[in-house]
Chains A and B, each alone.
Chain A
Amino acid sequence: MSKKEWPLWEVFIRSKQGLNHKHVGSLRAADSTMAIENARDVYTRRSEGISIWVIESNNVFANDSSESDALFEPADSKIYRHPTFYDVPDGISHM
């Protein structure tokens, strides 16, 4: 068996003008051109997209999920970043 497989690619699709590209899945392809063509065939057969990005999966870096509590803790402790933290007297509007 040849151990040389086509690399894995992650596929991102913009479903319509005005929306951002969203991850839809992955596929294998020899190069980026083929990855885009395959993504067209696999992920946009029913007009799901108007633009495709592909990126080789080994170029995607992720945080260590076992440490995500510590990583995201600062966001939880800063409730003053939310408008509901503040008292606004009754009668004040447009704020």
Chain B
Amino acid sequence: MEDKNILELERRFQEKIDNDIKIEPNDWMPDDYRQTLIRQISQHAHSEIVGMLPEGNWITRAPNLRRKAVLLAKVQDEAGHGLYLYSAAETLGADREETIDDLHSGKAKYSSIFNYPTLSWADMGAIGWLVDGAAIMNQVPLCRCSYGPYARAMVRVCKEESFHQRQGFEIIAHLAQGTPAQKEMAQDALNRFWWPALMMFGPNDAESKHTVQSMNWKIKRSTNDELRQLFVDVTVPQAEMIGLTIPDKDLKLNKETGHYETGEINWAEFWEVVKGNGPCNKERVDARRKAKEDGMWVREAALAFAEKRKNK
């Protein structure tokens, strides 16, 4: 009886998904669907928050006031993205504090791209152009994700992201057209961020264990390789346009398919970074942990003040 009941609930759930009817927080959902979403949304939230660190590194050293105001606004947006996503995870019953503790203990992952250092101002250009560009490719299809709160968060995020990519492209295009030293800086940033940006889309489809189920649930709407291809196809001509060279000697346009073909991605490096052995993994998590601990007394004081006022 009980099993039959569950089967019927599952059938109705999948029927809704197949008919593009959104799932909302109080609706019945299979436990795996809930857990998969909590994992994906909280990973995404952590990426937004940790993603502030490499760029925060350059706010005080921006070359002029305009660039500084823009970078500040961009990083502030990322904090907002983190908040929308943590809130979406909470609608699934995830505990906020636990979610954040999982990041700090290393149990939860975030995008491996943020474990690379930002060595020069040109990296602010490369990040906006490539990293936000790749994030947009990932996030646009998620606006149609089957889970309502996640889809709505993505709509807000995507609206804000478009300036992120443009400001980065502006920085790198400007440097690429500058003095030889500036151009070299731009090329160096592209050299360092190109491959990690391609890795942002995750393992090849054949290796990606969650893809099939996630596609059936419409949590994921395009595969890793499809999105990566899309990114390569739009980005290569942009690099050419500003006179920079993609650091891939095997890169070529396949005239028949109309798609670019890239060289082999260094997956060993990818997995090393995911496992915690990238250049900045420790630094990033330490910075988040320190932020939480250092701010603890402020949060406690605010709460004590609110309680005191309430009881008056």
Contact = CB atoms under 8 A, between A and B. Distances in A.
Question: For chain B, what secondary structure do more than half of its interface residues adopt (helix, strand, loop), or is it mixed?
Answer: helix
B87 A30 contact: no
Contact of B96 (A2, A28, A62, A65): A28
B97 interface: yes
Contact of A30 (B76, B160, B303): B303
Contact of B90 (A1, A26, A34, A42): A26
B302 A65 contact: no
B83 interface: yes
Contacts of B90: 8, 26
Question: In this complex, which of B76, B83, B96, B309 has the most chain A Cβ atoms within 10 angstroms of its Cβ?
Answer: B83
Interface string A1-29: 11111101000000000000000011110
Contacts of B77: 45
Interface string B270-312: 0000000000000000000000000010011011011001100
Contacts of A3: 97
Contacts of A5: 96-97
Interface residues of A, number: 22
Contacts of A45: 76-77, 80
A42 B296 CA distance: 21
A42 B101 CA distance: 23
A46 B163 CA distance: 12
A54 B310 CA distance: 16
Interface residues of B, number: 27
Interface stretch (B20-28, B120-128, B186-194): B20-28
A28 B154 CA distance: 20
Nearest to A42: B80
A77 interface: no
A80 B83 CA distance: 46
A1 B96 CA distance: 12
A25 B300 CA distance: 24
Contacts of B303: 4, 6, 30
B201 interface: no
A66 interface: yes
Contacts of A46: 160
A65 B24 contact: yes
A9 to B, nearest CB: 10
B299 A27 contact: no
B153 interface: yes
Nearest to A57: B90
Interface in B86-102: 87, 90, 96-97, 101
Interface in B140-157: 152-153, 156
Nearest to A8: B90
Nearest to B96: A5
A17 B27 CA distance: 34
A27 B156 CA distance: 15
A65 B84 CA distance: 24
B77 to A, nearest CB: 7
Contacts of A2: 296, 300
3 smallest A-B Cβ distances: which pairs? A31-B306, A30-B302, A65-B26
Given A26-B87, A31-B309, A62-B26, 15 more contacts: A1-B101, A3-B97, A4-B303, A5-B97, A25-B84, A25-B152, A25-B153, A27-B83, A30-B303, A31-B306, A41-B76, A45-B80, A46-B160, A65-B28, A66-B28
